[in-house]
Structure 1
Amino acid sequence: MNRPLPFDRATDSTDPDLAAVMHRVARGDKDAFSTLYDALAPMVFGIVMRLVRDRAQSEEVAQEVMIDLWRRAARYRSEAGSVISWAATIAHRRAVDRVRSAQAATDRENAQAAHGHHTAYDDVAERVETRLESEQVRRCLRGLTELQRQAVTLAYYQGLTYREVAETLRTPLPTVKTRMRDGLIRLRDCMGVTA
């Protein structure tokens, strides 16, 4: 069973009745498997090589297919199709599995590399930008009316609800909502944010 694959030899057109050979293989006949191996290995390798494209991996997959044929010989049913078709189907599936497995491994490696790669950034520039934005917000807040500034500050910096802001400022809730809406519009305009 561990014979090297005759990968460069074409399948002989005078092959024996492979269905009969397969039935002998199913009974554990090693000579029959040798015949089956010689008849199918080149075709199996060709199918695998077309999909996998790497010779070493193709040889490995083809060897796995041939071992699979030995192990699954008892499951072969001639009424379902020829031995060649059955072997070709197994070879195709194994090759596709290998390609998918290789692609999944590549995708995992790429994802890990991307996840592990952090773009270096300039911490000083980030701090300066944050400070400039903070100064702009403070400047824009100074442009609001006292009630607008207080309402926005309580809601956005202290996390109070509209109702809590109204209670804190002792102002009717509708007035607080209106002042906050107007204040946010003025802040947006001052900050240069487009809606």
Structure 2
Amino acid sequence: MFENGAGAAPRHEPPRLTAVAAEPLTAEALLHRTALGEDDAFADLYDLMAPRVYGLCLRVLRDPAQAEEVAQEVLLEVWRTATRFDERRGSAGAWITTIAHRRAVDRVRSAQAAGERERRATAEAAEPEYDSVAETAANRMEHRQVRRCLKTLTELQRQAVTLAYYGGHTYRQVAALLETAVPTVKTRIRDGLGKLRDCLEVAR
């Protein structure tokens, strides 16, 4: 009825819809979804936790290459064991970093054990297999005379000297073969070689 007049009814514009940004999911939510087999959730969890996991591993290992390798192992373990996470016992971040710390410490201990084994092997390789008396006897005396003089030794002396002299075993190896302590083997070899030397001197 009113046409462009002052009394025309006001026009009402439709309400405008504003987009509401979705809040990012928490680590706990992503972990629960990962446990349900949602690969996208794990990808988001990976992006969220990888820097933190790597930083922790680097602090423990002090080697970027090893830290990266261990971090990958940790996140793979998280993916495989996501169903074990219990939110009642702590946060997802704490659960994941606990795994990371354990893995990093295990790698350090493994490297230390390997280094210790290598040091022991090097030390045993450097240990003389027999002393200079036996070497002199081998160079100067006939095997017949040596065998005859060996009969003058006690059983343990003869076994120890024979294993070291003829077998080329180290003191530790001789001790293991005779089931005897290393200091005892060293004493028996020293005493036996002393008797052997005296016997060979007389046989000249």
| Alpha-carbon separation, structure 1, partners of 2:119 and 2:27 | 45
Q: Which amino acid aligns with 2:42?
A: F
Q: Any conservation in 2 of the 1:22–1:73 contact (CA below 8 Å)?
A: yes
Q: Provide the secondary structure at the position in 2 that maps to 1:103.
A: helix
Which amino acid in 1 is paired with 2:117?
A: R
Alpha-carbon distance in 2 for matches of 1:111, 1:125:
25
1:158 & 1:19 partners in 2: Cα distance? 75
So what's the TM-score if we normalise by structure 1?
Answer: 0.55
Contact 1:15 1:39 in 2 (8 A): no
Query: Distance between the aligned counterparts of 2:105 and 2:31, measured in 1?
Result: 24
Name the CA shift for 1:42/1:158 in 2 (closer, same or farther; >3 Å). closer
How many angstroms apart in 2 are the aligned matches of 1:158 and 1:120?
19
Give the aligned length: 118
* TM-superposition CA deviations, 1:34-68 (whole Å, max 9, x none): 01000100000011011111111111000000000
Misfit runs of 4+, over 4 Å: 119-122, 124-127
Gaps of 5+ in 1: 1-13, 128-156, 160-195
- 1:25 correspondence with 2:57: no
| Residues 1:91 and 2:100 are matched in the alignment | yes
Q: How far apart, CA to CA, are the structure 2 residues paired with 1:100 and 1:56?
A: 17
Taking a change above 3 Å as real, the CA distance of residues 124 and 23 of structure 1, as seen in their structure-2 partners, is closer
Partner of 2:164: none
Aligned partner of 1:43 in structure 2 is 52
Q: Matched residues in 1 for 2:44 and 2:102: separation?
A: 23
Q: What secondary structure does 1:16 align onto?
A: coil
* 1:86-114 Cα deviation digits (max 9, x unpaired): 01100000000000001000111111111
Alignment correspondent of 2:124: 115
Task: Map Cα deviations across residues 143-179 of structure 1 (whole Å, 9 max, x no partner).
Answer: xxxxxxxxxxxxxx999xxxxxxxxxxxxxxxxxxxx
Select 1:104's aligned residue among 89, 101, 113: 113
Does residue 61 of structure 2 align to residue 52 of structure 1? yes
Whether the 8 Å CA contact 1:24–1:32 is kept in 2: the answer is yes
Shift of 1:121: 8.6
| CA drift at 1:17 | 1.4
TM-score w.r.t. the length of structure 2 is 0.52
Shift of 1:118: 2.7
CA distance in 2 between counterparts of 1:27 and 1:89 reads 22
